[in-house]
Amino acid sequence: MLRKVLIANRGEIACRIIRTCHRLGVATVAVYSDADRDALHVSLAGEAIHIGPSPAAESYLRGDKIIEAALRTGVDAIHPGYGFLSENPDFADAVTSAGIRFIGPSPDAIRAMGLKDAAKALMEKAGVPVVPGYHGTEQDPDFLLAEAERIGFPVLIKARAGGGGKGMRRVEDAEAFREALVSAQREASAAFGDAACLIEKYIAHPRHIEIQVFGDDHGNVVHLFERDCSLQRRHQKVIEEAPAPGMPDDMRIAMGEAAVKAAMAISYSGAGTIEFIADASDGLKADRFWFMEMNTRLQVEHPVTEAITGVDLVEWQLRVASGEPLPRSQDELFISGWAFEARLYAEDAERGFLPATGRLAHLDLPEGLARVDSGVRAGDRISPFYDPMIAKIITRGPDRQTALSLLSAALAEVRATGVTTNAPFLRRLTIQPDFVEGWPDTGLIDRHLAELTIGQAPSREVMALAAVKLCGALEPKPDSEPWDRLSGFRLWSQASDFVELDYRGQHVPVSLGSVGEGAYAAMVDGRPVDFRLSRLGAEACLLEAAGRKHRVHLVCGERDVTIFGDGESWHFGLIDPLAGEDETADGGGRIVAPMPGLVKLLRAAPGAAVTKGEALAVMEAMKMELTLTAPRDGTIAEVLVSQGEQVVEGAVLLTLEPEPEAGEPKDG
């Protein structure tokens, strides 16, 4: 077994690797950037080495600094995790040249699968079914358009390098092809340093099913069955499960054999994933799946495979890197139960899944209901420099229904404040009828986006509870009951109080009175509400109204409270009645940065006429591109940033000329 390992990564995966190393008695070394100086993975490792500034390009993507740290600390091996340098063959070469073991496949294997066009050609030669398309090197737009027309629209433009949905565009017709190609090439170039794209036939009812493979240095290769990763948004996986629902035995056998054949074609050693696309228009069939690509690393969703096979895949990686043969043969591997994984992100589903940054003021994760793999704690900052994942929540049950019910219950117990999370969106997915019935496909989220992203409005009782908390009625006081804040003496009337709440920009007036121990009468936005409260703990209350009781949790800041209940969350602020209105309101004449990021493209100049919805700028933040559009028709007044400039959240990028007053003629 290896003696000491450096983890060339951060966050959740670094913590995941460290925990298995500790269980096996392997010493660990972490690396960190300026932004991660106090990160969880740094505190878990035996040693930690600073490798540079916060941007990944200056730290986690600096292979030379990572190898220098490995040599300084005398490690036997480097584990790259996933992302960053994990699929960089030059880094793997440099690691081995330095006399250190790279925990992953050989550089040649990474190169063979690193470019999708070359990988597909190799798979065709090996007898693995490949999706119809153009996988050559010619990049002339006219030529690629002709190939798309030959294949037949709709088609999928895909970057030949990298993954994660970067440089991928679905195109419905020839008219939209050129603009989509330019956009895909620009994103691919920024993400992977390679703008080349390939063209594939778009499958109308696709299922994304992948096979976990594992090889060793003794010529052994096995598969550990399939994962269904069809629930996606913008080609990014959201919830994964294993095994795949509706998978017939003959198809499972055929896919497993094809995956092993693919791995053996490149003498693969270590953990890898063969990704297939399946046509589910007539159910899953053994002759209706095709190779898409291979990920030559551990996958984010590997825990669901671990849950149904009882295998620690990181332990297998360490053993194979130590020169040991695979711990089990194919006939010793079998599926037991069902598992799901949900990716909990700092993002706002109601605002187009905009990534969120800031400090995690409060964080409760459902450790008792699920396996939780996380790289952050309460008090940590979600940085704009890296992927905004908070945790992976994994559940397992004897069958699909049980495992999914457990996932739904676990997501309902997530309580985070300080940044917005996608927990309510994920929970709505777990009760979406098509998904519950076992019919996921890659278009499901887009088809049901409105119902999945529109949050449940807070009831008047919940708003009244927020008012109770914010006016101090729930705060215990010495020598008194915690509910008596509103029960003092008043001449001719009961005690009362008044607060004005802010809920997502709306002002909600609430007057509140106590009518007995734990009982209240309120007027919420002019409508009466009677309710009763019972404290269940430091944060939990039992809210009773209209003959119904339900448990809620309250997490408070200085002038705000977040209430969690029924799998939803509602954040309320306390409005200062002496504060004036926002003096910066200008009728929608500004285009501002919704979060910190890089201005990738500007499409406007002072004096240019624009129409509502027209794309004016493209920003890149947290691995995604955001297109900012004109809020109304008008004329560009100022462009306040430059292309390539890093901006902070709320920075004004462009302004429009003021709208003419009523009756005033417009210019021209």
Distance in angstroms (rounded) separating the CA atoms of residues 487 and 496: 8
**Among candidates 429, 386, 440, 379, which has minimal Cα distance to 407?**
429
Q: Which residues pair with 652 in a beta bridge?
A: 592
Distance in angstroms (rounded) separating the CA atoms of residues 141 and 195: 12
Helix (H, G, I), strand (E, B) or coil at 469: helix
Residue 49 confidence (pLDDT): 98
**Among candidates 637, 647, 458, 668, which has minimal Cα distance to 564?**
458
DSSP-H helix ranges across 193-244:
none
Helix axes 11-23, 313-321, angle to 10 degrees: 70
Distance in angstroms (rounded) separating the CA atoms of residues 635 and 401: 55
CB-hemisphere CA count at 13 Å for 442?
21
What are the phi and psi torsion angles at 548 (to 5°)? Answer: -125, 135
In angstroms, the Cα distances linking 549 to 436, 533, 546 are 27, 9, 9
- Residues 216, 263: contact at Cβ < 8 Å? no
Q: How do residues 397-435 score in pLDDT, each as one tens digit?
A: 999 999 999 999 999 999 999 999 999 999 999 999 999
Residue 627 confidence (pLDDT): 84
- Residues 442, 208: contact at Cβ < 8 Å? yes
503 burial level (CB within 10 Å; 0-12, 13-18, 19+)? middle
**Which amino acid, residue 295?**
N
Distance in angstroms (rounded) separating the CA atoms of residues 441 and 204: 10
Distance in angstroms (rounded) separating the CA atoms of residues 133 and 194: 20
**Among candidates 296, 256, 289, 292, which has minimal Cα distance to 273?**
296
- Residues 107, 270: contact at Cβ < 8 Å? no
Q: Kindly report the number of other CB atoms within 10 A of residue 658's CB atom.
A: 12
Considering Cα of 75, then 78, then 84, then 87, what sign does the dihedral take?
A: positive
Residues 6+ apart with CB under 8 A from 99: none
What are the phi and psi torsion angles at 557 (to 5°)? Answer: -110, -165
Q: Which DSSP helix (H) or strand (E) runs through 314?
A: helix 313-321
Distance in angstroms (rounded) separating the CA atoms of residues 488 and 437: 55
Q: Which residues of the chain fall below pLDDT 70?
A: 164, 473-496, 577-588, 621-624, 661-668
- Residues 508, 470: contact at Cβ < 8 Å? no
Residue 496 confidence (pLDDT): 65
Residue 582 confidence (pLDDT): 45
Distance in angstroms (rounded) separating the CA atoms of residues 55 and 65: 14
Residue 462 confidence (pLDDT): 94
What are the phi and psi torsion angles at 317 (to 5°)? Answer: -60, -45
- Residues 232, 292: contact at Cβ < 8 Å? no
Distance in angstroms (rounded) separating the CA atoms of residues 599 and 642: 7
The CA-CA-CA angle for residues 326, 329, 332, to 5°, reads 125
Residue 491 confidence (pLDDT): 40
**Predicted structure pTM score:** 0.82
Distance in angstroms (rounded) separating the CA atoms of residues 200 and 151: 8
Distance in angstroms (rounded) separating the CA atoms of residues 291 and 278: 9
Q: Which residues pair with 635 in a beta bridge?
A: 609
Give how far the C-alpha of residue 581 lies from the chain's centroid of Cα atoms, to the nearest Å: 35
- Residues 356, 400: contact at Cβ < 8 Å? no
Helix (H, G, I), strand (E, B) or coil at 489: coil
* Mean residue pLDDT across the chain: 90
In angstroms, the Cα distances linking 74 to 52, 245, 584 are 20, 46, 57
Helix (H, G, I), strand (E, B) or coil at 173: coil
Helix (H, G, I), strand (E, B) or coil at 271: strand
**Among candidates 297, 299, 324, which has minimal Cα distance to 109?**
297
Distance in angstroms (rounded) separating the CA atoms of residues 260 and 267: 10
What are the phi and psi torsion angles at 99 (to 5°)? Answer: 80, 20
Q: What is the DSSP string of 19-63?
A: HHHHHTT-EEEEEEEGGGTT-HHHHHSSEEEEEE-SSGGGTTT-H
Residues 6+ apart with CB under 8 A from 289: 129, 209, 251, 254, 255, 258, 276, 277, 278, 279
What are the residue numbers of the active site?
297
CA R_g for the chain: 27
**Among candidates 325, 320, 333, which has minimal Cα distance to 105?**
320
- The percent helix, strand, coil of the chain (3-state, each to 5) is 25, 35, 40
**Among candidates 14, 48, 13, 54, which has minimal Cα distance to 33?**
54
Give how far the C-alpha of residue 143 lies from the chain's centroid of Cα atoms, to the nearest Å: 36
Pairing between β-strand 624-629 and β-strand 506-516 as defined by DSSP bridges: unpaired
